[in-house]
Amino acid sequence: MPTKSALFFDLDGTLTDPKPGITGSIQYALKKLDRPVPTQDELTWCIGPPLRASFARLLGGEELADRGVEFYRERFGDVGLFENSVYPEIADVLAALSTTPRRIFVATSKPHVFAKRIVAHFGLDGYFEHVFGSELDGTRVHKDELLAYALEVTGVDPAQALMIGDRSHDVVGAKKNGIDAIGVTYGYGSPTELLDAGASHLCASPRAVLDHIHSAFG
């Protein structure tokens, strides 16, 4: 039976549901830019992918994308990051996994200065050896670059690693680094999106993630 000695968890849409904070902060930025403001439900596609790319799409080009990110962070850094909730069962799943010899990490496109605060706010920081995220200037915002950096820092063998995430870029980034990936369908990516990206398995709940890791990897 293959083993997976290192687990990399995405944050948004995998560990926590960040919809109110992310979409509310995007609405705030668009309003500051005097642009049409979609509903929060219409903005859920922005949860997961790199933020600047989402603003470029929302604003019809690159010209105002950086300004959009600046306005977003005005609200997100003080208010939006805590407009968030941990998915049911996540704490129990992490507690169970922490009793095994596996190393457990967070790997998120969100800037690590925000990601670490969120993980600590919800009392999850004790389960993770390290929280990997991007820099505020956009360095390592793409999941393949982030995971390559994480592998280098930790010395983890990619063949012994597993990425758990809810969007296609989690899966694609993992595969580019030789890491197996499973998709979670309780987040913001569809089963089709995840399977087309190359996810080896889909899990409909956090508990299913734990069950799959135990059954498939011992």
Q: What is the CATH number of the domain that holds 53?
A: 1.10.150.240
pLDDT in tens, 137-185: 999 999 999 999 999 999 999 999 999 999 999 999 999 999 999 999 9
Report how far residue 179's alpha carbon sits from residue 121's, in angstroms, rounded to the nearest whole number: 29
Total domains, the chain: 2
How far is the CA of 124 from the CAs of 21, 41, 91, in angstroms? 19, 27, 7
Same domain, 203 and 95: yes
Torsion sign (Cα): 177, 179, 180, 186: negative
Residue whose token pair is 């089709």: 192
Report how far residue 209's alpha carbon sits from residue 218's, in angstroms, rounded to the nearest whole number: 13
What is the pLDDT at residue 209? 98
Q: Which residues 6+ apart lie within 8 Å of 96 measured at CB?
A: 210
Confidence of residue 2 (pLDDT cuts 50, 70, 90): low
Active site residues: 10
Task: Please report whether residue 1 resides in a domain.
Answer: no
Beta strands in the chain (DSSP E): 6-9, 16-17, 85-86, 103-111, 130-134, 161-165, 180-184, 202-203
Tell me which residue range forms the domain holding 58: 19-82
What is the pLDDT at residue 180? 97
CATH of the domain at 143: 3.40.50.1000
Mean pLDDT of 70-94: 96
Same domain, 75 and 145: no
Q: Is 124:95 a contact under the CB 8 Å cutoff?
A: no
pLDDT in tens, 91-140: 999 999 999 999 999 999 999 999 999 999 999 999 999 999 999 999 99
pLDDT in tens, 14-39: 999 999 999 999 999 999 999 999 99
